[in-house]
Amino acid sequence: MTDTGTDPVTGTDPVTGTDPATDADPATDAAPRPLTVGGYAALAKDRLPAATWHYFQGGAGTESTVRANRAAYRQVRLRPRVLADVSRCDLSTTVLGDPIGAPLGVAPMAYHQLACADGEVATVRAAGGSGLRVPTIVSIFASRTFEDLAAEATGPLWLQLYWLHRRDVLRTVVRRAEAAGFRALVLTVDTPRLGRRLREVRHGFHLPPGIAARNLDGEVTGFLHDRQDGSSALARHADAFIDPSLSWSDLDWLREQTRLPLVLKGVLTAEDAARAAGLGIDGIVVSNHGGRQLDGSVATLDALPEVVAAVGGRCPVFLDGGIRHGTDVLKALALGARAVFVGRPVLWGLAADGEAGAREVLTLLRDELEDAMALAGRPSLAALGPELLARGPAAAAPNESYEDPDLRKGP
Ligand SMILES: Cc1cc2nc3c(=O)[nH]c(=O)nc-3n(C[C@H](O)[C@H](O)[C@H](O)COP(=O)(O)O)c2cc1C
Ligand SMILES: CCCCC(=O)C(=O)O
């Protein structure tokens, strides 16, 4: 490369790839607050042990689905309307009957204490913060207790479940969450076993001492702390404790345990969505687990329209995977998502600055969404529909310095 100056369009130094959004200010030596969600990835990578970073970032196999989730947003362009009086944009909505401040929330992710000492307590405080009040889906593998989280949360809490062989343990966690005031159950249906996550395998990923699945007793947490080179402790744990025989008929059992709404997470086809809606499921999360399960599966934004059509308004449809900008949220909402859930960026925020970092990530997405609604001439969520979008050849990769730098480089 002969040009060693700063790229006039992106502001990125083309040689070092340094990013004005995150680089330290030599005068104070303090890193300025990132201007985009991607900036938090760079901070998190600096702060986290390599094995943890790769556990967070990794996808299954070649990570083609991780990339596809992001690329799908680049294939959709926006058709802004003008003269629409956008002096006030209203982002508030409801999910499963609860009012929320913006149509987004935190996707379930195991072990937030890998990112910061307060773990999920920091997350739920951030999500409940002023102007947000958004839902958090708490993983069954949370590193803080449901009761601790309920004491701190001001936004709705939903409990994510894996289908454990030990149905008695499932029943107990459902009862505890219900008693603590959780508002819904989210059954993850894309994980009969763990995807082949090469980064976890390469790093012999296992939980460090002191971090554990606090809501599960020791009978179902084996292997998690055992290091074995060339194998992921999480995969060994999942093989031992997650029941791959889960099928449609099992949903009745779960229904009988609770009066909470039941959401299925990990649906990607019209066929499964229609069947779920026909069974009276209360919500569907279109998800490929952030590309961590079946490598090569369809991008969530691409799967969304067929799921929305198949459900035909019988229950809300949510989406996760690759949400990194307010315009990503806008595109998913325009294709019929009721709200979107955010995964890795919340962990980046937690790793960068605990509760404050997670709050900044969520607030950035909220503020960017508001900007996008105003500039698209759509001041209310009700005004969003597919006419906002145009499909075309993928736009050139955007200012990649503001994207997740690790995914840019590949596994
Ligand atoms: C570190 C990590 C842990 C995760 N743990 C869980 C989990 O315990 N349960 C679950 O249903 N999904 C889990 N997921 C998947 C997320 O809920 C979500 O589907 C995905 O991260 C969304 O994609 P994004 O990270 O690109 O936003 C996890 C994802 C990550 C990155
Ligand atoms: C056994 C599942 C671990 C959490 C998870 O779902 C993930 O890492 O993606």
Nearest-ligand number for the alpha carbon of 60 = 2
* Contact (CB, 8 A) for 50 and 114: no
CA separation for the pair 109, 297 (Å, rounded): 20
CA separation for the pair 238, 232 (Å, rounded): 10
pLDDT for the residue numbered 316: 98
pLDDT for the residue numbered 396: 66
pLDDT for the residue numbered 168: 97
Count of CA atoms in the C-beta half-sphere (13 A) of 165: 11
- The answer to whether residue 206 is catalytic is no
Q: Going residue by residue through the chain (411 aa), what tens digit of pLDDT does each one get? A: 333 344 444 344 444 444 444 555 555 556 678 999 999 999 999 999 999 999 999 999 999 999 999 999 999 999 999 999 999 999 999 999 999 999 999 999 999 999 999 999 999 999 999 889 999 999 999 999 999 999 999 999 999 999 999 999 999 999 999 999 999 999 999 999 999 999 999 999 999 999 999 999 999 999 999 999 999 999 999 999 999 999 999 999 999 999 999 999 999 999 999 999 999 999 999 999 999 999 999 999 999 999 999 999 999 999 999 999 999 999 999 999 999 999 999 999 999 999 999 999 999 999 999 999 999 999 999 989 999 999 877 776 655 444 444 444 444
Q: Which helix (H) or strand (E) holds 158?
A: strand 157-161
* Contact (CB, 8 A) for 198 and 411: yes
pLDDT for the residue numbered 27: 56
Nearest to 337 by CA among 388, 375, 291: 388
User: Which ligand 2 atom is the nearest neighbour of the CA of 237?
Assistant: 1
pLDDT for the residue numbered 309: 98
Protein residue with least CA distance to atom 1, ligand 1: 56
Catalytic choice (203, 206, 237, 289) = 289
What is the 108 CA–ligand 1 centroid distance (Å)? 6
* Contact (CB, 8 A) for 306 and 274: no
* Contact (CB, 8 A) for 101 and 108: no
pLDDT for the residue numbered 393: 75
* Contact (CB, 8 A) for 311 and 274: yes
pLDDT for the residue numbered 9: 40
User: Which ligand 2 atom is the nearest neighbour of the CA of 195?
Assistant: 9
* Alpha carbon distances (Å) from 281 to 261, 284, 310: 8, 8, 13
CA separation for the pair 81, 404 (Å, rounded): 31
* Alpha carbon distances (Å) from 193 to 60, 104, 169, 204, 358: 12, 28, 19, 18, 29
Question: Which of 289, 297, 362 has most ligand 1 atoms within 8 Å of CB, for mutation?
Answer: 289
pLDDT for the residue numbered 88: 98
Residue 9: phi, psi to the nearest 5?
-90, -50
User: Which ligand 1 atom is the nearest neighbour of the CA of 323?
Assistant: 27
Nearest-ligand number for the alpha carbon of 188 = 1
* Contact (CB, 8 A) for 348 and 43: yes
Buried-exposed string 155-182: b where 16+ CB fall within 10 A, e elsewhere:
bbbbbbbbbbeeeebbeebbebbbebeb
CA separation for the pair 186, 260 (Å, rounded): 10
141 lines ligand 2 (CB under 6 A): yes
234 lines ligand 2 (CB under 6 A): yes
DSSP 325: S
What is the 110 CA–ligand 2 centroid distance (Å)? 6
Question: Which of 109, 113, 114 has most ligand 2 atoms within 8 Å of CB, for mutation?
Answer: 109
What is the 13 CA–ligand 1 centroid distance (Å)? 32
What is the 93 CA–ligand 1 centroid distance (Å)? 24
User: Which ligand 2 atom is the nearest neighbour of the CA of 293?
Assistant: 9
What is the 287 CA–ligand 1 centroid distance (Å)? 9
What is the 5 CA–ligand 1 centroid distance (Å)? 38
Task: Say whether 185 sits in a helix, a strand or coil.
Answer: strand
- State the complex-level ipTM: 0.99
Domains in the chain, start-ordered, CATH in brackets? 48-193+246-391 (3.20.20.70)
297 lines ligand 1 (CB under 6 A): no
CA separation for the pair 354, 120 (Å, rounded): 10
- pTM (two decimals): 0.93
Nearest-ligand number for the alpha carbon of 242 = 2
pLDDT for the residue numbered 14: 40
